[in-house]
Amino acid sequence: MPAPTDAVRPRGSGPAGPAPVPAGPSPVPADEPDLRHHGDAEVRGDGGALTDLAVNVRAGTPPAWLKAHLTASLDALAAYPDGRAARRAVAGRHGLPVERVLLTSGAAEAFVLLARTVRARRPVVVHPQFTEPEAALRDAGHDVARVLLSARDGFRLDPDAVPEDADLVVVGNPTNPTSVLHPAGALARLARPGRTLVVDEAFMDAVPGERESLAGRTDLPGLVVLRSLTKTWGLAGLRIGYVLAGPQTVAGLERAQPLWPVSSPALAAAEACSAPAALAEAAAAAEEIVRDRAHLLARLGEFEQIRVAGPAAGPFVLLRLPGAAGVREGLRARGFAVRRGDTFPGLGPDWLRLAVRDRATTDRFVAALAEVLR
């Protein structure tokens, strides 16, 4: 019988032993993709001089007002971090009580905490998606099964593809790297007693109106929503994200954290980015992303050999073209870094991911792409 979803192991105990894996999810292939490869690898070292279309952080960030706010927070560095005000601000932003909020050192920390604390005998990750959740589960000793969505139907989620006995399900929305936005109703169908449903909404604030978000829901059993402030606000180096979940789940995750896990500047950012003025700015940025993405898609449509997954809803697009690895190298030689797709389970060597940038950058990129494809 599955353990109650909100139950967590005490600190120091290991995960439940793996259960037999029935038919359903696709087995882990022998030629395992590199789950630890991320877009920032494309722009490290000599890649730092390239125009970055590989990392999904909004260009031109953080804004000047946020930089000033972070600079002011440095005066308090002699004191230990106090996350109470930031936690209240995040809770208020989502209309939730504070006991349903946990601040983390980026969403990546949340994946590790969940892997170490949530009881799961049958964890399932829906792919293609951000690979860190599966990597964290494996590192914690879990035997992870996969549900692979298909390009043939636009990588759309079919809730019936997830096995009934899965007691931990991880899915992204909108999903990295496919940019597909799954309907909230389809995700809600995955929630049930005895199951932890983890929805990674790291890019949801880039979707106008945050439609299809589950962040404010308290009626779905076992729901855990993860958010990041990295993407919209350009804070990848600061490491700040948060968990929205039931109070018992939050308390269990908090016990697994080290003391003072989030720095004072990161807490200042969480508080500031939850304020009404910041939310209005993020909403305007989401609308701008829609316009810039439409321009990118129109330009990509000029190449008959390129197929774009979609419809795209995030600040990035996934495209398929023959010889993508060679195209990627050709683009690097012409000053552009793009994200390889073969490290995502369910994709392969013919896939690339592109971050949405301003129209001028897109036009320069398309000119370079035309040269490579010729």
Contact 328, 311 (CB under 8 A): no
Q: What percent of the chain has a predicted confidence (pLDDT) above 70?
A: 92
Instruction: Tell me the pairing of strands 51-53 and 101-104.
Output: unpaired
pLDDT for residue 2 is more than 50 = no
pLDDT at 310: 82
DSSP at 341: S
pLDDT tens-digit readout, 12-71: 333 333 333 333 454 455 578 888 888 887 888 887 899 999 999 998 999 999 999 999
pLDDT for residue 5 is more than 70 = no
Taking Cα atoms as reference points, which of 205, 207, 177, 210 lies closest to residue 55?
Answer: 177
The whole-number average pLDDT for the span 158-177 is: 97
pLDDT at 47: 79
DSSP at 153: G
Residues 168-194 as b or e (16 or more Cβ within 10 Å = b): bbbbbbbbbbbbbbbebebbbbbbbeb
pLDDT tens-digit readout, 286-319: 999 999 999 999 999 999 999 999 899 999 999 9
Q: Which long-range contacts (CB under 8 A, 24 or more apart) does 18-25 make?
A: 18/121, 18/142, 18/143, 19/121, 19/122, 19/143, 21/122, 21/143, 21/145, 22/163, 22/165, 24/145, 24/147, 24/161, 24/162, 24/163, 25/124, 25/145, 25/146, 25/147, 25/148, 25/162, 25/163
pLDDT tens-digit readout, 316-357: 999 999 999 999 999 999 999 999 999 999 999 999 999 999
Give the mean pLDDT of the chain: 91
Place 116 in a pLDDT band, splitting at 50, 70 and 90. Answer: very high
Query: Who contacts 189 (Cβ-Cβ below 8 Å, separation ≥6)?
Result: 159
pLDDT at 41: 79
- Helices (H), ranges, 234-337: 247-256, 264-272, 276-300, 324-333
Taking Cα atoms as reference points, which of 315, 2, 368, 11 lies closest to residue 168?
Answer: 2
pLDDT at 40: 82
Which pair of tokens denotes residue 333? Answer: 């030689």
Q: What percent of the chain has a predicted confidence (pLDDT) above 90?
A: 86
The whole-number average pLDDT for the span 85-113 is: 97
CA distance 136 to 106: 14
The whole-number average pLDDT for the span 219-248 is: 97
pLDDT at 30: 56
The whole-number average pLDDT for the span 209-236 is: 97
Strands (E), 159-295: 168-172, 196-200, 223-228, 241-245
